Structure 1
């Protein structure tokens, strides 16, 4: 099991959390998504590491961006 953490910008409410959770959770191999609205932190649990471009595309599809690290 692998956990990948990213920070997502632009989330302001529970709807935002739900949108990110749904899109990221639909990626192949993802088994769990935890979103902290206050910090923007998103922890993604998966069987194998999720490619950064796939995470970025899922977050973009939800209408948000990954903060630069």
Structure 2
């Protein structure tokens, strides 16, 4: 997990959570009423990510390492 704290920009924090199944995690979040955009694979093909913003403006990223080189 990576957490970034930026006191000068309250509500602009960021957390990245590693996942073994981003698509499954997104489905689970949606089943619980959480609005989250569809996951995307980054251009390098190395990661699949889903990113959302919480009510305070903080960014939460779910990231799955696809192992591509």
Q: Normalising by the residue count of structure 2, what TM-score does the alignment of the two structures yield? A: 0.29
Structure number with the higher helix fraction is 1
Q: Which has the higher contact order (CA 8 A, sep 6+)?
A: 1
In our comparison, the structure showing a higher alpha carbon Rg is 2
The TM-score with structure 1 as length reference comes to 0.29
